[in-house]
Each structure stands twice: as C-alpha cells, then as structure tokens.
Amino acid sequence: MDRDYFQLRLWLDTEMTSPLSLQALAELWYCSVKNAKRKLLKYQAAGLFMYQPGSGRGHLSTLTFFRKFQDDLAAYLSQKQDDEQLSFLLSLLKLSESSNYQSLMMPAINQLLGTSFHMQKGEIMRAIVQRRIGTLHPTKVVTSFEYFLIDQLGDPLFKFHAKTDEILPWLAHHFYTTDHQSWLIYLRKGVFFHHEREMDSEDVIYSLKMAASSASVGAWKLSEIDTMQIRDRYTIEIILKRPNALFLRYLCSGNITILPRDHPFDENQWLSTGPFKLTERNEERIILTAFDHYFSTRPLLDQVEFWFVPQDPVAFGAQFSRTNDKHEEHLLEQDSYSNTVHFLAFNFHSPLPFLQHPAFREAIYHLAFIEKWQKEGVLSNKTVAHGYLMQEKDPMLPPHDLAKIQHLLMESGYNGDPIRLGYYNKPWGESLANKFKTEAAKLNISIIPVPLFMADYYQTDFQTEADLFVLSEESGADLEVSFLDFLLNPSLAPQKFWPVNYKKTLLELTADFQAGSDEKTRQKSHDKIESWLMQNFLLIYLFFDAKSFLVDANLKGMVGSNYGYFDLRNVWFDLCHKSQDTLNHTDNK
C-alpha cells in the first residue's frame, strides 16, 4: 500500500466494489494507461483487491476490495513511526479527493496530535498550523505566529512585563542612565548561542546594527541612536540624539533579537540564544528542540512540532489561537490576554482619484456603522473599536449618519467606479467584506471583495491588490510601543498605504509622543494622534477581537506570550492523566 493506493480508494468514494475507467485513473495518477494497469495488477498481487478488466472497448473495469478503507489505513499505519504516520495522513488530507472523507482519517490524526512521550526524543507536542512560515528573519517579521516563533528561538536584551509595566533583565542584567539619553547596558555572563559560543558585547553591537538597518521593520526604534560603544566584553554604551524614556522598552522587541556575529544569518539554520533550537524546517513541518544549555530555565518540553495543513483547523476539533464552539471534555479554553483591533485602511496608491478626497473617506466612515450592524446580528459578540487601544474613556467621535453619505460622495467626485475591498481570506473576513458590499450597494457604491492570503504577506506589498482594506493589528505586551509600531513600522498599513505628506505629519506627532517623559504626557500625545487620524478619516476602527484557544487539558504551565500564543518554555504535560485522544492544534495569523 502507498499514497496512490489510498488516493484510489478516496477517489472511488471508499466503496468496497466500484466500476473503474482506466483512462480516468491514469489522469488521476498522472501516468499512462499502461502504467496505471501495471499498478492495479501490483496491488492485486499484494492481496488488496480483485481487479476485473472491462470486456471489450468502452466497458468499465471493476475493483472489489477485500477490506474497508479504515482497516487498510490502520494496517498501513501500524508499520510506521508516529511522525511518519502523521506525515502520511496529512498528505492524504491535502488531496482534493479527501474533502468528503476527512471524518474517516481524523481519529487517527487526532491521536497523533497533542502531547506524547517518545523513548529517544522525550516529551513531544505536535500541533497543526494553517499556513507555512513566511519568514523567520527578525528584521522582517511583522505577523504574530512568526513573532511567536522568534520568541522561542531567540532573546532580546530585556523583557517587558505587561501586568506590572516593568522592564525585566534578560540577556542584559542591569542598565544605568541618569538622563534617558546615555545608557550603559551590562550583559549577562554565561549566555551561550545554539552553536555553543558565549555571547558578548560584539554580538550585541552586531545585532543592533542589523536591526537599525534601513531594511529592518524595527529600524524606527533605533533611529535615534547617535553612537554605540563597547566598554568591555560584557558592557556597552549607547548614546541617543535626544532623551527617550521608552528606549529600553524598544530593546524588548523580538525584532531586536541578539544574534551571533560569527555566523551570517540564515533563517533555515537559526542560531541565537533562545530556549529552543530550530532543528527542521521544510514544506511539511517545523521542529523546535529544547536547548539544553539555555541560560535560564530549560524548557520542560523536549520537542515541539508544527505541521502545515491548509484546511480550516475547525476540522481538527481544537485550535491554538481561536475558540471553537464544539468543546470536548479533554480540551480547556485559555485566554491569551491579547486583543486585536480590526480596521479599514485606505490605499492612497490606488488609481481611484476620489480615494484621496476626505469627503469620500468620511462617507465610508458613516457606512461602517458597526453598532447598527450588531443590532442586525452581525459582529454581535464583538466590542466596537473607537481607537487602536481599548480605553476606559472612548474619544469623542462624530455620530454615524447614513443620510450624509450621498452628499459626501458627490463632493468627492465618486462616479460609481467599483472599489476593490481587500480582506484576509478567513471566515470573519469574508463575512465582513460581504456585509460591506451589501450595505454599500444600498447607496449605489460598488464594492468588489478581494480575498488576501496571509501566506503571501511577505511576497507582496498588496498596494496593487485593492483600494480599501479590512485589516487587523494585534497589540503586543507593551501597548504604548505597539501603538507606535503600528504607525511607524514600514510593513504595516499607515507607512505602506499613506502618501508622504501624511507620513511626515505622523512622524512629527510620534516624535512628540516619544519625547514624553511620563505616561500622562504620552497619553496626551496619543490622544492628539488619534484625533488627527479621525479628523482626516485616515483609519476607520471597526471592532476588537479577543484571541483565545482550546488546548489539551493535560498541558500545564501555559503562560501568555506575545501576540496571543503561550510561551512554550513553560509548558509541560501530565503523563499520569494523559488520555489516548488528546488534541492541540493551531490557526496561526
């Protein structure tokens, strides 16, 4: 038995007896009719079925199988190791012929997922992800799952504690400053990279220069550095052009992970100081293995495997990053303490001239009447967003007024041209895009929904894909820095879609924000920025979404990490209470 045999069974609807066209089978297997017949005779000789050739031209052949599909599958898998079993099952699941028969394979797949113990490999956690990794280069990553992986593979100089708003020592154990402009940073001794060399000041300077390069998404965080100097093997001095009380918090970023200077960075051969090492990355899976010489507590899990399957993970019964309505008794729901804001962004590079007019953008603001839609049963379980962050006191916004839309459209010069609305190809995105289309049509606004795929995020800038976008942005642990990153990161909506004049004003406003020496002063700058965004209708906030996930009830030690995932270094599983059908799967952003 092999993959072609099981593809044949799925193609024949897993029936025990079925008519068969050799020509159609040859097309299925991408081979000649002669070779297809040879394969059938080979399977017959192995005792898998009885093959009865058609008598005469135009007559169908007949196959009579000796065992049920499930029994054949169980017999084949019994000869394989766990990872080989999972690889084979997922390869079947990717076949178009399997779409109606996932339920026949899911019990076997689910038993292999979740947590297990292997005599040689130790404690292993396996999970499903929906898409392949875009990039793992720390200077390029802007999506949450990739950021989560970098957090497991490497370390920044400091960590930010979300609950206490404290900066915690990490690769650096102390810092000293009297004016927020000159900073002495003292590095921890005995920190080793994955290739067993100790980290020193030269590695830190090398990493900071890489993160500050013009191609880096985190360059804005280091743009105010005037000089960097090595004081000794474990001490560096950084002098800024002007005081910045947030500077140390920038150094908590995964985009500023410390890398070894003696190895040119290769994202398929990841070398850093993190709790896990990257031991395998291919089209099928990515494997992380615990780093035994990690400077802090060694991970309790020995190996973590993420397997790529494009199907909706609802089919697998549980997800890593969003809840499923079908709760199982061996699954627990965990809150990620992460909030995502969904918003509309205008593409100022669009060829549609009316998009540049504030009146058109205001018309779209009035159209996006989320409170009204909620009363109609759309997004009823979401929190309406009035800004990037959830705040106790919402800003004063103009009321939505549908009666103003026609006048605003005339003022903007809108002439009925179709408007391409880009959205992430997920159920909530499609539903929201269709709602926009329906509501817009009532006002003679032509909306064409255009699905966008997260797997393409790092291959295209989307500027030519749509005129208007429904996007989402997930805040990290540090809300103030997340707000700034949203506005200044070159790969995110404002910097990607806005014209030079708006970006210039934004740079001035965010400079005032960063100059604030205390939270109260920065809050005033934050409110000023949000007010400017609203006055020009540059962004239209829609709603907040809280990420949560279902996990194997035997998993313990789950502590929230950045962007809605839990930190793998603290996770372990209770072998004494492990059931045979535990699950753990993930839908990554």
**Cα–Cα–Cα angle for 132, 388, 541, nearest 5°?**
90
Task: Tell me if 299 is assigned to some domain.
Answer: no
**Domain boundary, last residue among 235, 256, 277:** 256
**Domain boundary, last residue among 256, 274, 295:** 256
Among the residue ranges 46-55, 113-122, 472-481, the one predicted with the least confidence is: 113-122
**Cα 524 to Cα 568: distance, rounded to the nearest angstrom:** 37
Query: Among residues 327, 317, 320, 298, which one has the least CA distance to residue 123?
Result: 298
Among the residue ranges 209-213, 259-263, 322-326, 506-510, the one predicted with the least confidence is: 322-326
Mean confidence (pLDDT) of the chain:
87
**Domain boundary, last residue among 256, 280, 295:** 256
Place of tokens 């199988």: 65
pLDDT of residue 104: 75
Average pLDDT in the 130-137 region? 86
Task: Tell me if 10 is assigned to some domain.
Answer: yes
Verify that 81 and 208 share a domain, yes or no: no
DSSP code string of 511-525: HHHHH-SSHHHHHHH
**Cα 535 to Cα 398: distance, rounded to the nearest angstrom:** 10
Is residue 324 over pLDDT 50?
no
The predicted-structure confidence for 335-368, as pLDDT tens digits, reads as follows 555 678 999 999 999 999 999 999 999 999 999 9
pLDDT of residue 316: 41
Residue 560 has what DSSP assignment? B
Residues 554/329, Cβ–Cβ less than 8 Å: no
Q: Tell me how many domains the chain contains.
A: 3
Verify that 162 and 94 share a domain, yes or no: no
pLDDT of residue 331: 54
pLDDT grade, residue 462 (50/70/90)? Answer: confident
Average pLDDT in the 499-510 region? 96
Query: Among residues 496, 492, 424, which one has the least CA distance to residue 456?
Result: 424
pLDDT of residue 566: 75
Is residue 199 over pLDDT 50?
yes
H/E stretch holding 543 reads strand 539-552
The predicted-structure confidence for 223-281, as pLDDT tens digits, reads as follows 999 999 999 999 999 999 999 999 999 999 999 999 999 999 999 999 999 999 999 99
Is residue 588 over pLDDT 70?
no
Provide, rounded to the nearest whole percent, the portion of the chain with pLDDT above 90: 60
Verify that 526 and 449 share a domain, yes or no: yes
More confident residue, 209 or 117: 209
The predicted-structure confidence for 526-551, as pLDDT tens digits, reads as follows 999 999 999 999 999 999 987 666 56
Verify that 101 and 166 share a domain, yes or no: no
Structural domain that includes position 506: 337-545
Place of tokens 């159209």: 367
**Cα 455 to Cα 453: distance, rounded to the nearest angstrom:** 5
Average pLDDT in the 501-522 region? 95
**Cα 456 to Cα 478: distance, rounded to the nearest angstrom:** 27
pLDDT of residue 380: 83
Verify that 234 and 343 share a domain, yes or no: no
